[in-house]
């Protein structure tokens, strides 16, 4: 669009926004820019799109030896509407350190509660604390539902292929449960990668759903099968995907899992000729071992430590292999964050001097790079640095 036309449209919009709209039946004008209108809709907006929610733990479900589902109800009413596949950011305080973690909603929309399925990770700061300390009746605060990993009927078609791994099954499970509620207007095939059969999350429910209707197909692929295992074995590579789904024509692929699986699946789908616009993806946290990421400077060893000077505050010593945001939180400096995967940009800080490393899939805008902004959740100091929060 020519710039002159764009400016004309903006000017026209601003004039309209200042007008009073007259409804004949009401007999008076409504000033949509005035405080009377804003005050009348503010409670509705807050209820439907809350910035914060107070949640009470209603039930704990043991899924596997390392995975639990926490069922929360909202203390001040029903959970807000959300799209199956979205997540909330859960706020916690551990030994004086305030932090947060994003957890995908595993339950279907409009069921009166929110299920958050959490897997304990080795060295997991928050997941371990939740598993050890949460009891029914505890109250926590979260954001409202956010995220863009959900089905879009206008562009995704009616045949979906879900490629999930580990706890990455949770947003996919929300979509599957929603389909069960509305009668399966979509056709879904799930290929679920797991290291061991005993680590499968929601396995019994998935098998039951696949058995009860022909609109849902479920395939488990085990990468480290025990002796005598008779199911599918290996990784979610092009050969396995092609054999199970057949033609890729007209299908949209949803990927969610650990970064190692994500990188593999994206490259394998490219081998099958799946166009980029037919691939939907959800990143799940920072890399397990940042030193193995492409581009990591060889001179920086895994045990390296550097100084981070926070402008106007203090200087701290941090590990090169810990996300910058985690290091700041450990020193009681809170940085706003939501996704913690490099996508939302809420945690961006400005690097005034020194160098940081970010993996290739960090969603940093070119303008941010130009002016020295980085996403603290996927940034790693590889020298002494000075930053502005």
Compute and round to an integer the Cα radius of gyration of the chain. 23
pLDDT in tens, 237-293: 999 999 999 999 999 999 999 888 888 999 999 999 999 999 998 876 677 789 988
Where does residue 51 rank: exposed (0-12), middle (13-18), buried (19+ CB within 10 A)?
exposed
Domains of the chain, first to last? 53-142 (2.40.30.10), 153-282 (3.40.50.80), 290-388 (3.10.20.30)
Reported pTM: 0.82
Rounded Cα distance, 126 and 130, in Å: 6
Report the chain's mean pLDDT, rounded to a whole number: 88
pLDDT of 287 reads: 75
CA 235 centroid distance within chain: 23
Q: Name the stretches of the chain with pLDDT < 70.
A: 1-34, 36-40, 284-285
pLDDT of residue 289: 84
Burial 247-265 (b: 16+ CB within 10 A, else e): ebeebbbbbbbbbebbbbb
Pick from 58, 49, 57: which is nearest to 83 by CA?
Answer: 49
Query: Cβ distance 380 to 326 under 8 Å?
Result: no
For residue range 119-171, what is the model confidence (pLDDT) as tens digits? 998 777 899 999 999 999 999 999 999 999 999 999 999 999 999 999 999 99
* pLDDT given at position 31: 61
Give me the helices (H) in 19-56, please: 35-48
Length of the chain: 389
């Amino acid at each position: 669009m020519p710039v002159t036309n764009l400016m004309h449209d903006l000017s026209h919009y601003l004039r309209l926004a200042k007008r009073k709209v007259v409804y004949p039946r009401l007999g008076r004008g409504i000033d949509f820019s005035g405080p009377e209108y804003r005050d009348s809709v503010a409670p509705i907006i807050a209820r439907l799109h809350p910035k914060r929610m107070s949640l009470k733990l209603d039930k704990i479900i043991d899924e596997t030896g390392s995975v639990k589902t926490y069922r929360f109800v909202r203390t001040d009413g029903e959970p807000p509407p959300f799209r199956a596949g979205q997540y909330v950011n859960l706020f916690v305080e551990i030994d004086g350190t305030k932090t947060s973690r994003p957890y995908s909603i595993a339950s279907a929309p409009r069921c009166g509660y929110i299920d958050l399925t959490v897997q304990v990770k080795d060295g997991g700061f928050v997941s371990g604390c939740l598993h050890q300390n949460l009891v029914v009746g505890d109250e926590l605060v979260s954001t409202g539902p956010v995220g863009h990993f959900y089905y879009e009927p206008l562009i995704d078609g009616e045949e979906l292929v879900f490629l999930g791994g580990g706890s990455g099954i949770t947003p996919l499970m929300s979509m599957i449960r929603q389909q069960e509620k509305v009668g399966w207007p979509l056709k879904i095939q799930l290929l679920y990668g797991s290291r061991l059969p005993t680590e499968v999350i929601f396995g019994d429910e998935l098998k039951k759903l696949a058995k009860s209707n022909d609109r849902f197909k479920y395939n488990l692929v085990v990468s480290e099968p025990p002796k005598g295992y008779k199911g599918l074995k290996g990784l979610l590579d092009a050969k396995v995907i092609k054999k199970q789904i057949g033609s890729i024509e007209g299908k949209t692929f949803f990927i969610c899992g650990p970064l190692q699986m994500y990188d593999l699946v994206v490259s394998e789908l490219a081998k099958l000729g799946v166009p980029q616009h037919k691939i939907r993806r959800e990143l799940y946290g920072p890399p397990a071992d940042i030193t193995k990421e492409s581009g990591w400077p060889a001179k920086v060893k895994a045990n390296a430590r550097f100084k981070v000077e926070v402008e106007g505050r203090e200087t701290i010593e941090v590990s090169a292999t810990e996300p910058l945001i985690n290091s700041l939180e450990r020193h009681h400096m809170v940085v706003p964050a939501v996704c913690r995967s490099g996508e939302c940009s809420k945690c961006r800080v400005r690097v005034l001097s020194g160098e940081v490393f970010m993996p290739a899939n960090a969603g940093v805008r070119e303008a941010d790079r130009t002016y020295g902004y980085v996403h603290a959740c996927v940034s790693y100091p590889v020298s002494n640095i000075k930053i502005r929060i």
